[in-house]
Amino acid sequence: MKKSAVFAVLSFFLAGPLQAGTFVYVSNADDGDISTYTLQPDGSLKPGERVKAEKVVMPMSVSPDRKYLVAAVRSKPFSAFTYRIDRKSGALKLVGSGPLAESYPYISHDRTGRYLLGASYGANQVGVNPIGSDGKVGKPQQVIPTARNAHSIRVDNTNHFVYVPHLGTDQVFQFVFDAKTGKLTANTPPVLQLPQGTGPRHIIISADNKFAYLLNELTAQVTTLAIDKKTGLLSPVSVAVAVPPDSKLQPGMPRGAVGTPGANQAPRDTANDIWASDLHLTPNGRFLYAAERTSGTLAAFSVDGASGKLTYLSSTPTEKQPRGFAIDPAGKYLVASGEKSETVSSYSIGEDGSLKPIGQYPTGKGANWVEIVDFK
């Protein structure tokens, strides 16, 4: 073997241990910090450093180039903290913070990474902040009053259309997005009206951009919405439910915003109320999972790629009051957090979509949002 070939082989093996891996981040609202973990090849988590933010840190978003993690603080002064992600260790280093217009329960980057989109549940608005080349979030450049309880905000895969579910009015606001300027304008029609009392909460987009999946907090229904590729407008296709058919839970009612009197409480006994929280698709689009907080479960669905229709498969117990979870980019593992639990759980995703518990790992108080970043 030639010396050059030998050197190449040795370099390959020597470089192996230095290759970056997959990292997990969990925001801890009550402690005001972010837990970091390394996702091991077997799906277990190796805890790392807990990085300071501020109380009440909740939603997070990773830039498209995976260089930065942005975390939003829902206490005054409302702000977005930007952390640089070390590709080898997954360590977070604070690079700066910027002001947000309001308390945002949900933030997301546009597809260019130049803008941060936010939705405010308590202030009934959406906002756009510019992001500099250094990852820092600038002052709000646009704030749009919308309707009661804006709960999430996502741009489609073409970066042309933005969707904002509103829990209080059972609507999804539809915007046209200008990626050059970061400006949002109302689409025509500007809203999609859903049945009263469903409580639209989180929305995600399929990889082929044909469908959006909408989780309704008050009914645990997951609505499949077709996306018109020309106009970006949404139209309902089908509905599936993220609780077992024999569940005794009943439809819930809207609750107060974080940081307000009566936060997370409805004006009656809520012990038996449906309180759905989050949903995600596997990267291959075959399975969808949804979290329900009252029962502390993760529901699994199979996905028909052609029609977008969901079929309920099973529910798996998870952390107490699960607020957020994420699926690794390889689609092999799921990590879930619970607001009433000081551990996070990891699961393997089976070929049939079933979840198999791997382990529980320590985290902070008020754990609520999970992000997974892969550098393999």
Instruction: Name residue 49's amino acid.
Output: E
Residue 9: pLDDT band (50, 70, 90) is very low
Domain ranges of the chain: 19-258+271-374
Summarised one tens digit per residue, pLDDT across range 89-147 is 999 999 999 999 999 999 999 999 999 999 999 999 999 999 999 999 999 999 999 99
Are 325 and 313 within 8 A, CB to CB? no
Instruction: Name residue 270's amino acid.
Output: T
Q: In what order do the strands lie in the sheet with 115-120?
A: 106-109, 115-120, 125-130, 142-145
- Smallest CA-to-CA distance from 158 within 230, 224, 225 is with 230
- Smallest CA-to-CA distance from 67 within 38, 40, 48, 92 is with 92
pTM: 0.94
pLDDT at 256: 86
Summarised one tens digit per residue, pLDDT across range 151-173 is 999 999 999 999 999 999 999 99
Percent of all residues in the chain with a pLDDT value above 90, rounded to a whole number? 90
Element housing 92 (H / E): strand 92-99
CATH code of the domain occupying 19-258+271-374: 2.130.10.10
pLDDT at 263: 61
Percent of all residues in the chain with a pLDDT value above 70, rounded to a whole number? 93
Cα gap 244→239, rounded to integer Å: 14
Cα gap 72→55, rounded to integer Å: 10
Residue 13: pLDDT band (50, 70, 90) is very low
Are 167 and 217 within 8 A, CB to CB? yes
Element housing 374 (H / E): strand 367-374
Cα gap 280→202, rounded to integer Å: 9
pLDDT at 7: 43
Are 264 and 255 within 8 A, CB to CB? yes
Cα distances from 311 to residues 41, 88, 238, 302, 303, in angstroms, run 30, 39, 10, 5, 7
Residue 78: pLDDT band (50, 70, 90) is very high
CA angle 372, 374, 376 (to 5 degrees): 160
Q: In what order do the strands lie in the sheet with 79-85?
A: 57-62, 68-73, 79-85, 92-99
Are 19 and 354 within 8 A, CB to CB? no
